[in-house]
Amino acid sequence: MKDIVKKWFIVGTIFIILFGSLLHFVYEWSGNNVLVGIFAPVNESTWEHLKLLFWPSFFFSILEYIFIGREFNNYITAKAVSFYAGILLIISLFYTYTGVIGKNLLVMDVFVFILSVIISQSIGYKITTTVSNVSKKLNLISFISIMLLVILFVVFTFDPPQIQLFKDPITGGYGI
């Protein structure tokens, strides 16, 4: 079973990287469709770029759950930790490297995204294959924490806090 899980996590990693990269352009391609903006970055803020990791990870995890996730009582917890780890990695790596060199570079942004996907997926794989007997209470908390991310990504697309994480560095605007 561990080999099957490993294959799913590898396919998931590739899917997230490819679909996340493509997602970067979808809002503009859609003619700035508001519904598309929930799932795709609507500006160049760091927060909006977290969608590139979160939504592909979220949708792939639903598919993965149907095929293998139900076999593990820790699957939801593993995914919650994976999602939050990826988000925190992107934020911390991006602000660290831009703080050190004083600007952002596209090649570094892409590297941060890919590295964050790989590490977050690896964390999810490790938890899924090594941690067992996760309580129903922890799974419920994990599920709620995932739903909180869904809500935050939707709400903050339209009404983001007026702080640097949500500010488009090109236009100075926030959200849609």
Top pLDDT among 40 and 130 is at: 40
> pLDDT per residue over 86-106, tens digit each?
999 999 999 999 999 999 999
| pLDDT above 90 coverage of the chain, percent | 94
Q: Does 103 fall in a domain?
A: yes
Residue 116 structural domain: 2-160
Number of folded domains that form the chain: 1
| pLDDT above 70 coverage of the chain, percent | 100
Q: Does 165 fall in a domain?
A: no
> pLDDT per residue over 48-60, tens digit each?
999 999 999 999 9
Q: Does 166 fall in a domain?
A: no
Q: Does 169 fall in a domain?
A: no
Q: Does 173 fall in a domain?
A: no
> pLDDT per residue over 52-84, tens digit each?
999 999 999 999 999 999 999 999 999 999 999
Q: Does 117 fall in a domain?
A: yes
Q: Does 36 fall in a domain?
A: yes
Long-range contacts of 8-13 (CB under 8 A, 24+ apart): 8/64, 8/67, 8/68, 9/121, 9/122, 9/124, 9/125, 9/128, 12/57, 12/60, 12/61, 12/64, 12/121, 13/117, 13/118, 13/121
Q: Does 176 fall in a domain?
A: no
How does residue 3 score in pLDDT terms, banded at 50, 70 and 90? confident
> pLDDT per residue over 15-48, tens digit each?
999 999 999 999 999 999 999 999 999 999 999 9
